[in-house]
Amino acid sequence: MREDARSKSCVWSRWSEKNAHRKPDVIVNDAAATATLSNTHTSALKPILVTTIIATVLIALVAVNVAQGQQPQASAPARAPPQQQASSNVVIVPGSASLRRDASRVDQVIYPYESFPVDNSQRPPEELHQTSYVIDNKRFIESYSSRCMASTLLEDPDSVEPNFVVIRERSEVRVNATAPIKLIQATGFEPRQPTHIFVHGFTQSYPDTDWLRKTRALFEMHSLVGKENLIIMDWGVGSQGSYQQVAARSSAMGSFLANFLMKLFELGAERESVHIIGHSLGAHIAGFAGKRIRPRIGRITGLDAAGPCFGKLFSNSPNDRLAPDDAIEVDVYHYDDAFLGLPGQIGQFDVFVNGGSSQPGATDNINSMAQALVTMVFRRNRPLSESHTRSTEVATSQLSLTNCQMIAYECRDWPAFLSGECGYCDASNSQCFDMAFHHQYTNRKPPPLRQYSGSRSGGGGGKQFYIATSPNGLYCLQHFQVVVKFEPSPDLVNLAKKQRWKIQLEITNEQNERSNLTITNQVEPSVFTHLLLSEMQPKRFKSAILQVRQGDNSPIQLRDKPNKPGQPANPSRPYSQPPRVNSVEVNFMSSFEPDQRRRLSSRLCPSGWLEAQNSIEDEQQDLSWLTLSEC
């Protein structure tokens, strides 16, 4: 049961008398700040009193920040381990502005995540134990957070405490974040089953948020409820208000989530079986929770992590946002980096959907951006950006109905991916990334946890993947990499650039469906690539016809046989021998199973000539189109 302001003040007095002999890590002696915190809910204040309090708090805040900035950084790891403080009933969090919870219910010390390095992989076990993020307490005290010129200093955590909704087969149970373990156990939580926790974003709540209702429906459709734990973090009370204030509140929400997770672990849940999926600010909340838990949880997925008040313009430190070290696997999906998303690489595996800046079919324009800014400042409850919300729509689309798997491929950038340069994935799938969530696919097991050690520092050293989606409701596109290989020749590079080659290719699949392509991307002297996207069901390609044209659209003569040593040059040609096509490879990309990729991929080799359809002045016009069939 929550306490009123008067009872909290009594608790603070009892704590002060009982623990006057202890020397806290940080001492706050500002009486005005303490009085302000204890009277947060007082609504009838005169304007002059409000002005005085705000000025006093600002001065105190500046003084505390200056004092903290003068403390040596090397002193943080030297704090005593939590086990040595277990006898105390009181927690003093370094950096706290005041004691803001019932201290009598706390039995462990919580160190703030800002005090510890991101990379603990090289630290000895005994030292790592002393500087751990582990939370073993029943309740906690959160240090204040400031972001975007907003602060949680004057907020009572009880007023923004989130709820956790545990979904059962035909019902749901809602518990507070600080509920006792026995109450959480009574919700039907099964510690031996995998746990999925969904966290919404700014101005959203459950059950009002559409993508959360769809997620629950997918779990029920696939009969996953009862086999896996589905939990929705409803922080709707805390997600309301100006965006700056809500963004500053995200760290506290992460502490609430970490505290709830620790109770699940006490019930027997495996840390590696926990998967948190957060959208927008919810992605950072998941990160703030992951920072506070060691050993790490299994996986965190960020759906277009929020950009405003995060990133380079504010603080791009891994401590201030979702970061690669927050879980064993951290995968981030970028949809709206140009406006509301956080650009750049922030996870171990970053997937840039359609390049990551904007989405096809989304009406994001100057007008919608202006409306979004009004929403963020004046607390209007409306969708901010169609590209930003597309991340949740893709996550809840029913992909298994179309037998479509959304597989992203590692590539250096978006233009290179669109040109077909990145379509290879080995048998271990290290160059491709499965975007699937378990509630979307039921015909196969989810992949094991993936971890990329190169991104542990949080400085953008992870892998980046790309994928294209359709604007329709399923967002699925079948990807094929088309590779045209010529017989190597020293003249080929300069010749193709000088004549501005365009390869006209018409390929036919097993059901005689044709696709016409124009290929211009030369990745190697004798190799051209192209990315073929299709909304149709994937089928194996069995034949093709090909023609090479110059910039003026005139065809180039090709050879159908390998070059013979000592063959005399043709004086009418600007090169020694006509080019020859070795093969056309069509590699299927939209599957995570290597056998499926091989089955739907094909290699086509020259098999003859087809009479040209265009009237051109060439003595060998009947040889201008090359036919190819499976090798």
Confidence band of 339 (pLDDT split at 50, 70, 90) = confident
Tokens of 30: 């500002």
- Assess contact for 306 and 283: CB atoms under 8 A: yes
Higher local confidence (pLDDT), 519 or 131: 519
Residues 392 and 514 reside in one and the same domain: no
Query: CA 300 to CA 277: how far, in whole Å?
Result: 6
Greater confidence, 153 or 483?
A: 483
Select from 244, 263, 135 the least CA-distant residue to 197: 263
Is the residue at 322 inside a domain?
yes
Whole-number pLDDT of residue 427? 83
Q: Are residues 410 and 483 in the same domain?
A: no
Q: What does the pLDDT average to over 502-530?
A: 94
For the chain, helix, strand, coil in percent to 5 are 30, 20, 50
Q: Is residue 292 part of a domain?
A: yes
352 has a pLDDT exceeding 90? yes
Query: Which residues, listed in sequence order, are joined to residue 330 by a DSSP beta bridge?
Result: 300
Return the CATH number at 397: 3.40.50.1820
Does residue 120 fall inside a structural domain?
no
Q: Do 294 and 348 share a domain, yes or no?
A: yes
Is 100 part of a structural domain of the chain? Answer: no
Q: Is the same domain home to 432 and 494?
A: no
Which residues are CB-neighbours of 418 under 8 A, at least 6 positions away? Answer: 468, 531
pLDDT digits (tens, 9 = 90+) for 594-626: 999 999 999 999 998 876 554 444 444 445 789
Residue 416 lies in a domain: yes
In a domain, 108, yes or no: no
CB–CB of 492/525 below 8 Å?
yes
Structure token digits, residue 478: 């079948």
Which of 201-210, 304-313, 374-383, 489-498 ranks highest by mean pLDDT?
Answer: 201-210
This prediction has a pTM of 0.75
Residue 209 lies in domain: 144-442+461-467
Q: Is residue 372 part of a domain?
A: yes
Helices (H), 267-347: 281-291
Average pLDDT over the chain, rounded to whole? 74
More confident residue, 479 or 159: 479
> Which residues are annotated as catalytic?
280, 304, 388
Domain count, the chain: 2
SS3 126: helix
CA angle 221, 226, 228 (to 5 degrees): 90
Kindly report the CATH number assigned to the domain that includes residue 556: 2.60.60.20
Q: Is the peptide bond before 446 cis (omega within 30 degrees of 0)?
A: no
Burial, 124: exposed, middle or buried (Cβ in 10 Å; 0-12, 13-18, 19+)?
exposed
Comparing 254 with 12, the larger pLDDT belongs to: 254
Portion of the chain with pLDDT greater than 70, in percent: 65
What's the pLDDT score for residue 368? 54
How confident is the model over 388-397, as a mean pLDDT? 91
- Judged by DSSP in three states, 205 sits in coil
Residue 393 shares a structural domain with residue 483: no
Band of residue 18 on the pLDDT scale cut at 50, 70, 90: very low
Per the structure block, which two tokens stand in for 597?
Answer: 């990729």
Q: Does 41 reside within a domain?
A: no
* Residues in contact with 139: Cβ distance below 8 Å, sequence separation at least 6, in sequence order: 101, 102, 105, 106, 178, 259
Separation of alpha carbons 481 and 589, rounded Å: 7
Residue 106's nearest CA partner among 96, 115, 116, 118 is 96
Q: Both 438 and 518 in a single domain?
A: no
In this prediction, residue 630 has a pLDDT band, given cuts at 50, 70 and 90, of very high
Q: Please say if the pLDDT value at position 398 is more than 90.
A: no
Instruction: Assess whether 339 and 218 both reside in one domain.
Output: yes
361 shares its domain with 509: no
